[in-house]
Chain A
């Protein structure tokens, strides 16, 4: 199984020389911004959650939205995960709420790569930790539209491109796992993922585990395992 080097930093910038994590990652990890302190006393306009504790990452996002401008006034969050996951959610909350707040349309377009760049880069095998925050945000935005009756604006996730060369999405990986491919080799046999874009392999491995867990747990509930 190919293992990536810990020193491969993606989105590398001047601040990420030497240490495993950039100074910005450390700042957001040790001093997280906007995390949800009082869930019970908070009235959110929209909320979303993604991930599973078995996979090692869970993110929950709460947003407050200005109904006139549809800009995000506040973005609160909670994250179960490693330093990159915590720092990425923290940075995301800053990015969508700073300078008067992002419009919901703009926030929906926020990419993990943009968060990663603002963090001064992440080690290659940590990228998968940063890709759930924006999903949780989009779930919260959909929730807001649902609550305000704007159901036509709800966007179902079309799948996120994992392999940039072959344009393979996380949905393709999910399909492959559902069809019984439970190792990287087997998923590659079905999708060729990573053959043109090897940088995505650590993320693909994480996705395979994620979906395996998801469907294994369903099997367990069925009593078939």
Chain B
């Protein structure tokens, strides 16, 4: 028995990494989906699985060692964000952080909105049409169940939301404004600081208004303290490798980050929760994370995430410069293909994002031809989604379904070289030409208007 067990050491259902290893000349251009884990991060995590494995809540010395690692990680992250350590709430990832921010605020705010505006009053939330599904789905669900009123602000044609459009959607019942820092599909960078400042101003005016009307309504209120609404949330998962995450500058009250986009582990994320913001917890249990998010801390994940964020922020300027050159080289190369278009603004754009539409072909077909040549990218085509709908982001740009079906996203990363970019520029014209030969469709450029 023992011998047999040894011979079959690897559990049969886990694929051997050897069969998954990609070829050395392959180009992984799907870093916005997820990144490989940095070797330094993996190395830092390992002892917290095999040696310092105790529960941070345990009072014995091994437990305290785990607890110390979590505390250190929290402090590292707080320093990067210009925040306090007690403002960091660890979660299982970006999706959970977004859900916690939304549902947590709405549930806390509902009684206050009812007290002020009547029993039938609903909290109002403002978001944008290009948010990640982790924002849009919970909001649409809350709207469907009648728990909130929702305003979805459309971006401009370049995929950038106007701060004024977001701010003018705010009304006296608005409890939350959620705008992503940078878009995951088209890489457009949103005016977070401008929106953050605008929201502070709205709060300030609302205080002086209520002070005038009912003298002692908010006697000690300070608009900088998020003791009143609207609160400002931003999903910064895609921004973390390239942009400044200083919460004092952006004036966010809540901010989502995760490990899987910044060369850290998957299954770990965090929500920045500004002091004074009260969130209704969504996971109840042992009261970890100051009661906001119960569950034993993912110690190796937390250690890995903190180091990954530190490295990503340390090298963000250098890496941004390097990737911007590669990005523009790829964009220039791809736009030489006839009937093509860059989706999203050329300048207000993450250094690692390229998103191009081609008429008359379907994105999944092009993606699979590239895959066969060792180039990994993604598409906004309906056929590639489980919902059978083409990308909501591309359509929010005002583009036709036709243009959305033919979109490809290349997201560069730390391991992307000039050779990778040149490989795509060399391969894709032939693939597009071949698919157009097979296609009975011959649309004109007006489909890009």
By a beta-carbon cutoff of 8 Å, the part of chain A in contact with chain B is 1, 3-4, 6, 29-30, 32, 35, 37, 49, 53-56, 58-60, 78-86, 125-126, 128-129, 202, 205-206, 209, 213
Contact = CB atoms under 8 A, between A and B. Distances in A.
Given A59-B440, A126-B383, A128-B388, A81 B401 contact: no
A78 B438 contact: yes
Given A3-B387, A83-B383, A202-B388, 8 more contacts: A35-B437, A53-B441, A56-B382, A56-B401, A78-B438, A78-B440, A80-B362, A81-B362
15 contacts: A1-B387, A3-B386, A53-B360, A53-B401, A56-B381, A56-B405, A58-B440, A58-B441, A78-B438, A78-B440, A81-B365, A82-B383, A83-B368, A125-B388, A126-B383
Contacts of A202: 388
Contact of B365 (A53, A82, A209): A82
B280 to A, nearest CB: 26
Interface string B419-449: 0000000000000000001111101000000
Contacts of B365: 29, 81-83, 86
Contacts of B301: none
A209 B441 CA distance: 19
Interface string B378-404: 000111101111100000000011100
Contacts of B390: 56
A79 B388 contact: no
B372 interface: yes
Nearest to A136: B440
A125 B387 CA distance: 9
A209 B438 contact: no
B386 A6 contact: yes
Contact of A213 (B381, B401, B437): B401
B362 to A, nearest CB: 5
Contacts of B53: none
A202 B389 CA distance: 11
Contact of B362 (A35, A37, A59, A82): A82
Contacts of A213: 401
A158 B8 CA distance: 57
Interface in B341-381: 360-362, 364-365, 368-369, 372, 381
A79 B405 contact: no
A53 B402 contact: yes
Contacts of A125: 386, 388
B401 A83 contact: no
B8 to A, nearest CB: 20
Contacts of B400: 54
Contact of B360 (A80, A86, A205, A209): A80
Given A53-B402, A55-B401, A82-B364, A60 B440 contact: yes
Which of B361, B405, B443 has the most A CB atoms < 10 Å from its CB?
A: B405
Contact of A79 (B368, B382, B384, B439): B439
Contact of B440 (A55, A80, A206): A80
Contacts of B383: 56, 81-85, 126, 129
Nearest to B383: A82
B405 A78 contact: no
Contacts of B389: 209
B439 A80 contact: yes
A202 B362 CA distance: 19
A49 B440 CA distance: 9
Contacts of B372: 30
A3 B385 CA distance: 10
A78 B401 contact: no
B258 to A, nearest CB: 22
A125 B388 CA distance: 8
B439 A78 contact: yes
A35 B437 CA distance: 9
Interface string B145-165: 000000000000000000000
B438 A4 contact: no
B362 A56 contact: yes
A35 B386 contact: no
A35 B438 contact: yes
A37 B360 CA distance: 16
Contacts of A37: 437
Contacts of A126: 383
B164 to A, nearest CB: 27
A79 B369 CA distance: 16
Give the top 7 A-B pairs by smallest Cβ distance, nearest first.
A82-B383, A78-B440, A60-B440, A54-B401, A82-B364, A80-B439, A80-B441
Interface string B185-222: 00000000000000000000000000000000000000
B138 to A, nearest CB: 14
Contacts of B361: 80
Contacts of A83: 364-365, 368, 383
A40 B273 CA distance: 65
A80 B388 CA distance: 16
A30 B402 contact: no
Contacts of A54: 400-402
Contacts of A60: 440
Contacts of A79: 438-440
B440 A30 contact: no
Interface string B311-328: 000000000000000000
Nearest to B405: A56
Contact of A30 (B369, B384, B386): B369
Given A3-B386, A209-B389, A86 B401 contact: no
A213 B404 CA distance: 14
A153 B107 CA distance: 65
A79 B362 CA distance: 10
Nearest to B384: A82
A129 B405 CA distance: 14
Nearest to A29: B368
A125 B381 CA distance: 14
A30 B401 CA distance: 25
B358 to A, nearest CB: 12
A53 B405 contact: yes
A128 B386 CA distance: 13
